[in-house]
Amino acid sequence: MIEVHRNLGVRTLLVLLLLLAGGWPAAASAQLLVPMDREQENHLKAYGYTFQILGEGQTGEWLLNYRAGSFLVSDTPDNRRKAALMGVTVQEIGAGALARVRLEIESQNMEAVPLEKAPRIAVYTPPNSSPWDDAVTMALEYAEIPYEQVWDADVLSEALDNYDWLHLHHEDFTGQYSKFYLTYASSPWLQEEVTRNEAVARELGFENVPALKKAVAQRLHDYVEGGGFLFAMCTATETLELALAAADLDIAASFADGSPADLAASQKMNWGRTLAFENAVLVTDPTLSAFSDIDGHQVNTPWRVDLGSYALFDFSAKFDPVPAMLTQNHQRVLPDFYGLTTTFRTERIRAGVTVLAEEEGRGRVKYLHGTLGEGTFTYLGGHDPEDPRHLIGDAPTDLDLHRHSPGYRLILNNVLFPAAKKKKLKT
């Protein structure tokens, strides 16, 4: 007679009995494991592979903390063929092996999360491509994940209701054009961007671009509160928050020509409106390419901080499945990379926001997640995980040379996250 430890749950006992009986139900016998440890040939395409299978109406599972966050899908000829075409490693897993995997998952810091439906993806990005690339757009295209583009008019209409997940291109929601006028005032691409934004502001009935972006920021806030999944990187993380906090202030109008803001404006900001940050001090000097002291690296200032590394936190897959999902990776310490907003100072983060990764012992957070109403937001500082010092005009990153990128895996964790079936936490 086998003695079962009293701490083993009912599910564990069931798995053990099934294993001793010689198998798992027939429905589970034909499965493909998509390993996400170092045996995977193409980590980034593996997300697209799983996404496409969900898009075809199939279901799958995300095995949190099992072999670096592997996926489980049905073993069909089409799924095998798709894996071969995309260069994704898959492994057949029989009933007995699958039962042992489930027993391991149940007894350790792991969890099997059902994946049910591919989310509808949108990227907030200018109608005309900018001269520098966007990491999320590149990740989606490389992984072969379909998406649509939206811009200000779409955001201010009801169009966002058509999408489950929205990424914010590295946009400056204060309307200062990321202060690029300090260096690129005569560049045709910046002049075109200014002309385009001013035209859109007039067409939509706004006094100026800062007023337009402030309204867009509020609509994005409402999108999250209503159940949307928002993911932002680089400048968008910081400036979205500043635009929300300055919603009732004239300070937004002063951004239009880059003039200094009121020195007392930092104290006048309404931080009750923001998602992630609070009590930031604005950078009001128009000669400095920085927005506030939220950013811990201040890349374009005399007090620029050198790059180091950041470490992903470990979470309980059973009690904290969402942060565990967002941090699945085959590497826990990652090289840092610059952006106009690179990291977030710990003291500027609101209570209740979950820190997912930080520069250990330095008071700088790289990656965070939070909830608002029925939705969620996730911020990742920096511009391009595989181009640490990316400059305007640099060639786009060739992701085929970085198919195992742990930084890009964080982006794609977020893309697949809305597909996970939500269930009550264990108590």
Task: Report which of 217, 233, 244, 419 is spatially closest to residue 337, judged by C-alpha positions.
Answer: 233
Cα–Cα distance between 349 and 355 in angstroms, integer?
9
Indicate the pLDDT class of residue 168, thresholds 50, 70 and 90: very high
Q: 74: exposed, middle or buried (C-beta count within 10 Å: 0-12, 13-18, 19+)?
A: middle
Residue 181: pLDDT band by 50, 70, 90 thresholds? low
Bin 57: left if φ > 0, else alpha if -120 < ψ < 50, else beta: left
Q: Output the six-digit token pair for 346.
A: 């710990």
Task: Specify the 3-state DSSP secondary structure of 167.
Answer: strand
Q: When comparing pLDDT for 2 and 405, which is higher?
A: 405
Q: Integer distance in angstroms from the first to the last C-alpha of the chain?
A: 30
The structure tokens listed for 142 are 């490389």
Give the model's confidence band at 290: pLDDT under 50 very low, under 70 low, under 90 confident, else very high: confident
Entry pTM: 0.89
- Predicted confidence band of residue 9 (pLDDT cuts 50, 70, 90): low
Of residues 34 and 22, more confidently modeled: 34
Task: Tell which residue, 133, 139, 143, 126, has the closest CA to residue 55.
Answer: 143
pLDDT above 50 (res 20): no
pLDDT value at position 4? 34
Whether the predicted pLDDT of 7 surpasses 60: no
The pLDDT confidence band at residue 224, using thresholds 50, 70 and 90, is: very high
52-104 per-position pLDDT tens digit: 999 999 999 999 999 999 999 999 999 999 999 999 999 999 999 999 999 99
Q: Would you give the distance in Å from CA 394 to the centre of its chain?
A: 23
Give the residue among 311, 420, 316, 330 at the shortest CA–CA distance from 376.
Answer: 420
Per-residue model confidence (pLDDT) at position 177:
75
The band of 108, judged by pLDDT with boundaries at 50, 70 and 90, is: very high
Burial 370-403 (b: 16+ CB within 10 A, else e): bebeebbbbbbbbbbbbbbebeeeeeebebeebb
Amino acid 339 reads G
Check residue 3 and give its pLDDT: 35
Six-digit token pair at 378? 């996730």
**Contact (Cβ atoms closer than 8 angstroms) between residue 60 and residue 80:** no
Residues 352-374 pLDDT 10s: 999 999 998 899 999 999 999 99
Which element (helix H / strand E) includes 93?
A: strand 91-93
Q: Work out the pLDDT band at 391, boundaries 50, 70, 90.
A: confident
Other beta carbons within 10 Å of 126:
17
Domains in the chain, start-ordered, CATH in brackets? 10-115 (3.30.70.790), 121-419 (3.40.50.880)
Tens of pLDDT, residue by residue over 150-160, are 999 999 998 99
